[in-house]
Amino acid sequence: MDETLIKAALAVLDENWTGRFTRPSARLYPHQWSWDSAFIAIGYAHVLPRRAEQELRSLFTGQWRNGLLPHIVFHGPSGNYFPGPEVWAVTCNPNASSHPPTSGIVQPPNHAIAAWHLYQYARDRTQALVFLNELYPRLKAWHDYLYRERDPFHEGLVYIRHPWESGMDNAPLWDQPLSRIAIDGPLPFQRVDKQVVNPADRPTDTDYARYLQLVSLFRTCRYEESRIQERCPFLIQDVLFNTLLCQAERDLAKIARVLGRDPEPHEARAAQTARAINQKLWDEAHGIYVDYDLVAESPIDVHVVAGFVPLFAGIPSSEQARRMCANLNSRSFCRLGDRCYAVPSYDKQAPGFSRRRYWRGPVWINMNWLLYRGLQRYGEQKYAMWVRNAIIDLPRRYGFYEYYDPEAGCGHGADRFSWTAALVLDVLYTCRSETVPPS
């Protein structure tokens, strides 16, 4: 156990703890982000379980009446963060939360995964059951919203309607869909993010204008999903989002079972989603999963690290998993023994690959954590350890950054980043018997 690294990770989390929730980072992300909080709770489970519960409890105070769990909850004044509550203006929808104010979009549904993780590692199972009983109706309402409002064809696949909903904000996946959004005139906003981190690492102003144009459309539609479906130029069935929903439904079934409730509806939905991911999102030619563009009615032929995440939910067959691992262990991503850190977020052989630009090549610790668990699930221990080494070695050598250069290893984006610290803690506490050879 690396006690020095544990202390350093805890110091990052303490620094970002507000007393009610944990900021992803103090300067760039000063509010509460949805899937960040779930990853953060996973790390807290081993050392500060009551804080882990508070993390999720605080997030769900922003849940809408229809079950939508917003991607940002603004606890207190928004300060100079942009876009703040006044841009989202969600109170035009009667379901929206006004206290606390929130955004009007969502992020990947990893919250039931985190809640089950808390129970699995709880020292006090009685207290953990009390918390699960409190959270279960909110988790169920969240999943019900997704399947009811975001699965128009009842396939078991839900769509995202904004790049920010994927968690992978400016991934190359979105270039073609976003190109359908025309930008007219000067850009009517001033970005704060480019004042905090290197502008070269961030999405372009044109991309940002398109993001905000989508938000304007949602406001015009009063955040009514049926109206948005009719008019939105960005409707994507995303691999990562649906994979996490599939596993979250399975974990919600486990939660229901320990609470004495009916797990079958959750198990049935998870099975349907797994089948749909395999039937619609599997790319047989390349051995990876790809997103589907509902507007263009075609797959998005772009290969990113999220295309391997179905391993985490046990979705691929053993043969599919074998092909995925061969793809990972190639020049496109990171070959075992090469001078690289696993796993770049985008195919290194593809146009536009960047070692440092947000979601266009850097290593992300949360994606590595999902891949590590998935590779373990399929018995791919050698590559799993390669990924685990990166999870531990990158923060130990370069600090707790938002993401990392896959060749040089240096950190980029926000520093003192909470989910990086939290997931390092989880890996260290759950894999004590494993040793990490030097990179």
- Kindly state the tokens that stand for 392: 């531990």
Contacts of 175 (CB under 8 A, 6+ apart): 302, 352
Q: Residue 251 catalytic?
A: no
CA dist 237 and 161 (Å) reads 9
Q: What is the largest CA-CA distance in the chain?
A: 59
CA dist 38 and 142 (Å) reads 14
Q: Is 87:107 a contact under the CB 8 Å cutoff? A: no
Name the nearest CA neighbour of 211 among 186, 178, 176, 175.
Answer: 178
Q: Which of 393, 402, 405, 415 is catalytic?
A: 402
Angle subtended at Cα 163 by Cα 424 and Cα 234, rounded to the nearest 5 degrees: 155
Contacts of 341 (CB under 8 A, 6+ apart): 334, 363, 390, 393, 394, 404, 405, 406, 407, 409, 439
CA dist 106 and 37 (Å) reads 13
CA dist 422 and 79 (Å) reads 26
Q: Which of 155, 169, 175, 224 is catalytic?
A: 169
Calculated CA dihedral for residues 353, 358, 363, 364, nearest 10 degrees:
-150
**Position 244, amino acid:** L
- In DSSP notation, 183-208 reads --SS-----SHHHHS-GGGSPPHHHH
Q: How many CB atoms lie within 10 A of CB 286?
A: 16
CA dist 100 and 98 (Å) reads 5
Q: Residue 402 catalytic?
A: yes
Class of residue 95 by CB neighbours under 10 A (exposed 0-12, middle 13-18, buried 19+)? middle
As annotated, the active-site residues are: 169, 402
